[in-house]
Amino acid sequence: MSERIVLGIESSCDETGVGVVRLYDDGRVELLADEVASSVEQHARFGGVVPEVASRAHLEAMIPTARRALAASGLGLEDVHSVAVTAGPGLAGALLVGLASAKAYAAVLGKPLYGVNHLAGHVAADTVQHGPLPSPCLALLVSGGHTQLLLVEDLATKITEIGSTIDDAAGEAYDKVARVLNLPYPGGPPIDRLAKQGNPEAIAFPRGLTGPRDAKYDFSFSGLKTAVARWVEERERAGEPIPLADVAASFQEAVADVLTAKAVRAATELGVGTLVISGGVAANSRLSGLAGERCAEAGIELRVPRPRLCTDNGAMIAALGAHLVAADVAPSELDIAADPALPVSTVSI
Amino acid sequence: MLVLALDTATPAVTAGVVALADGSVPRTLARRTTVNARAHGELLTPHVREVVAEAGITLAELHAVVVGAGPGPFTGLRVGMVTAATFGHALDRPVYPVGTLDAIAVAVDGAEPLLVATDARRREVYWAAYDAAGNRVTGPHVQRPADLAERLPELAVRRAAGQGAELYADLLGLPVAQPWHPSPDALVAVAAKDLLTGADPAPLTPLYLRRPDAEVPVARKRVTRP
Ligand SMILES: Nc1ncnc2c1ncn2[C@@H]1O[C@H](COP(=O)(O)OP(=O)(O)OP(=O)(O)O)[C@@H](O)[C@H]1O
Ligand SMILES: [Mg+2]
């Protein structure tokens, strides 16, 4: 029973992703292909993802992306042992495209289907780069739609949310602050770039939910976004120039400070030796830099997958599928429904 | 030849295995139709497995796929399109898109000018008009039933088919014939010539007829008062 091939399909937001991995008997997962078609440019002028535009793009991209992934893997569909697909959370219409396609592949191949959790997929992404996760480990998931601290006891079966944002996600805060600063969408990369030329201590922006009585593992970024907007508007009204790089650096410092402080505190208090940071915002240079410093001080191993694996892709879904196969989790039925609000504790449906 | 026929452009989730031979009408070997506008994604592939089993064949014995390309409500329509495209890829078979309204028209008995209308939601219908010989003379369009009613004299249609025609029968004032939804043999009938000659299929382009709802944001809201 060696070397099982898993095909992974992702369509929860604005990326159509198809990945192929190979699962070895010892549990190692090797990345064979990772093809992504993005509709991000079609959403840019709207300042955020337009669900119907994303769904239409998924339909156009699905088969071509699957063909590219198979070609890149050097394998044929007949080599596939299981099909994994994002069943949620995400945009309902977008999820449905990938899920319907995955069901048809599974039906033709006569192979098991695994409808999986997109957020667990973000954590699984790290395993194709850094190998199996130790148990337990802590995951900080930071993306456009989510900001969560997860206790991962078993990637295939036991993920517990121990904290999450009570308002905006970290990526959402980047995108909103980018609008305030007249930077393009998505806002993460341009703010990250600008921040490198600014002074992170220039402006003391608030650190949400860091008071002694606040929920210690939860996050809040909407106050930070408002504080940035207020600061900028006041300067504009006074006719003063906006020091864009300093605003970007100070905002980014506030985000990275809160995320890493809470993650390291959770790992320490829970006695967990490994922290994984994943999701689109994990590509942020200051977040990974500061996390590196603080984890080293606390004696915690830090794992951050390369940026390509942090944003939405099919390889992470294939990787999670491989872990489900390895753990002998029962496959999904072919009549499963997409669940736009699937909780992270439900790894597969 | 054996053809898999799919349509999800109406509230009906339809899958069928159809036998097609030169010189005879398409014959449905097995068919599943479930009317449930919210379950296209759940039901379509299970329906395919059921009809294939009931027809006593395997998926690999299929020669081609035919799919209704709409017009229809977006989310359901995409399920049929991506499912058909995937079966085509995985089986390495051609996939032929056909107009969903055409497949309803072809199944109506008799030779009189015909209106086909399906429910487009938002108090509108998808519609097309056909002459006595069954050729589409206009459409598909999406319109409010009242506006369509105004065009009826000029279209000179004598009767109507499709669930949209039934829903707005009072406004349209036309006798309504069956069917409401496309059947597998009718879907195959529309593509029969291409199937039998092995013509290159047209691109799998869904007939949305409406633009996505999306607004370019106006200036950002300020958080402080000017
Ligand atoms: N270098 C960066 N620094 C900060 N943020 C970044 C960076 N690169 C990308 N981002 C942010 O990451 C987000 C996109 O990440 P991702 O694709 O994982 O999110 P998503 O798929 O939209 O959300 P979810 O996974 O929660 O459904 C955007 O908000 C973007 O601004
Ligand atoms: Mg994501």
What are the pLDDT digits (tens) for A250-309? 999 999 999 999 999 999 999 999 999 999 999 999 999 999 999 999 999 999 999 999
Residue A45, pLDDT score? 84
* ipTM topping 0.90: yes
Residue-number span of the structural domain to which B38 is assigned: 2-99+181-197
Instruction: Name the residue with tokens 């008009």.
Output: B129
| CA angle B42–B43–B46, rounded 5-degree value | 110
Residue A276, pLDDT score? 98
Pick from A52, A105, A111, A113 the residue to mutate for testing the B interface (most B CBs within 10 Å). Answer: A52
DSSP secondary structure letter of residue B221: P
Is residue A348 in some structural domain? Answer: no
Do B75 and A55 lie within an 8 Å CB cutoff? yes
Taking the Cβ of residue B59 and every Cβ of chain A, the question of whether any pair is shorter than 8 Å is answered with: yes
Is residue B220 in some structural domain? Answer: no
Same-domain status, B144 and B72: no
Chain A residues close to B59, C-beta within 8 Å: 107-108
Using 50 as the pLDDT threshold, list the residues of chain A that sit under it.
none
Same-domain status, B95 and B169: no
What's the CATH number where B157 sits? 3.30.420.40
Same-domain status, A145 and A257: yes
In chain A, the residue whose alpha carbon lies closest to the alpha carbon of B50 is A107
Amino acid identity for residue B70 in this structure: G
* C-alpha to C-alpha distances, A243 to A141, A184, A292, nearest whole angstrom: 30, 17, 28
Same-domain status, B154 and B187: no
Is residue A343 in some structural domain? Answer: no
What's the CATH number where A219 sits? 3.30.420.40
Taking the Cβ of residue B161 and every Cβ of chain A, the question of whether any pair is shorter than 8 Å is answered with: no
Do A335 and B46 lie within an 8 Å CB cutoff? yes
Same-domain status, B163 and B54: no
The number of beta carbons lying within 10 Å of the beta carbon of residue B211 is 8
Which residue minimizes the CA distance to atom 1 of ligand 1? A284
Is residue A349 in some structural domain? Answer: no
Is residue B95 in some structural domain? Answer: yes
Is residue A333 in some structural domain? Answer: no
Which of A150, A172, A194, A281 for a ligand 1 pocket mutation test, highest count of atoms within 8 Å of Cβ?
A: A281
Is residue A96 in some structural domain? Answer: yes
Amino acid identity for residue A143 in this structure: S
Q: At what angle do helices A244-270 and A222-237 cross, to 10 degrees?
A: 160
Is residue A232 in some structural domain? Answer: yes
Is residue B226 in some structural domain? Answer: no
Total-model pTM: 0.95
Same-domain status, A186 and A98: no
Chain A residues close to B226, C-beta within 8 Å: 237
Which residue minimizes the CA distance to atom 17 of ligand 1? A311
Instruction: State which H helix or E strand residue B208 sits in.
Output: none
Same-domain status, B159 and B76: no
> How many folded domains does chain A comprise?
2
3-state class (DSSP) for residue A101:
helix
Contacts of A8 (CB under 8 A, 6+ apart): A17, A18, A19, A20, A21, A83, A84, A85, A121, A314, A315, A316, A317, A318, A319, A320, A321
Strands (E), A78-201: 80-88, 113-117, 137-142, 147-154, 158-164
Same-domain status, A160 and A199: yes
Is residue B17 in some structural domain? Answer: yes
Nearest-CB residue to A96 (from B41, B90, B212): B41
Same-domain status, B185 and B170: no
B94 and B65 Cβ atoms separated by less than 8 Å? yes
Report CA(B120)–ligand 1 centroid distance (Å): 35
Is residue B214 in some structural domain? Answer: no
Same-domain status, A147 and A97: no
Provide φ and ψ at B28, rounded to 5°. -75, 125
Which of A122, A311, A313 for a ligand 1 pocket mutation test, highest count of atoms within 8 Å of Cβ?
A: A311
Residue-number span of the structural domain to which A61 is assigned: 4-131+309-326
Same-domain status, B189 and B156: no
A259-280: b (≥16 Cβ within 10 Å) or e = bbbbbbebbeeeebbbbbbbbb
Pick from A334, A336, A339, A349 the residue to mutate for testing the B interface (most B CBs within 10 Å). Answer: A334
Taking the Cβ of residue A336 and every Cβ of chain B, the question of whether any pair is shorter than 8 Å is answered with: yes
Distance (Å, whole) CA A321 – CA B112: 55
Is residue B161 in some structural domain? Answer: yes
Same-domain status, A120 and A247: no
- Please report which ligand is nearest the Cα atom of A288: 1
Contacts of A260 (CB under 8 A, 6+ apart): A287, A290, A291, A294
Same-domain status, B93 and B44: yes
Is residue B142 in some structural domain? Answer: yes
Report CA(A11)–ligand 2 centroid distance (Å): 10
Same-domain status, A251 and A283: yes
Same-domain status, A86 and A211: no
Do A62 and B86 lie within an 8 Å CB cutoff? yes
Distance (Å, whole) CA A124 – CA A120: 6
Using 70 as the pLDDT threshold, list the residues of chain B that sit under it.
216-221, 225-226
Is residue A142 in some structural domain? Answer: yes
Nearest-CB residue to A66 (from B41, B44, B89): B89
Same-domain status, B112 and B147: yes
Pick from B52, B58, B89 the residue to mutate for testing the A interface (most A CBs within 10 Å). Answer: B89
> How many folded domains does chain B comprise?
2
Chain A, window 219-258: residues with a beta carbon less than 8 angstroms from a chain B beta carbon = 226, 229-230, 233-234, 237
In chain B, the residue whose alpha carbon lies closest to the alpha carbon of A223 is B223
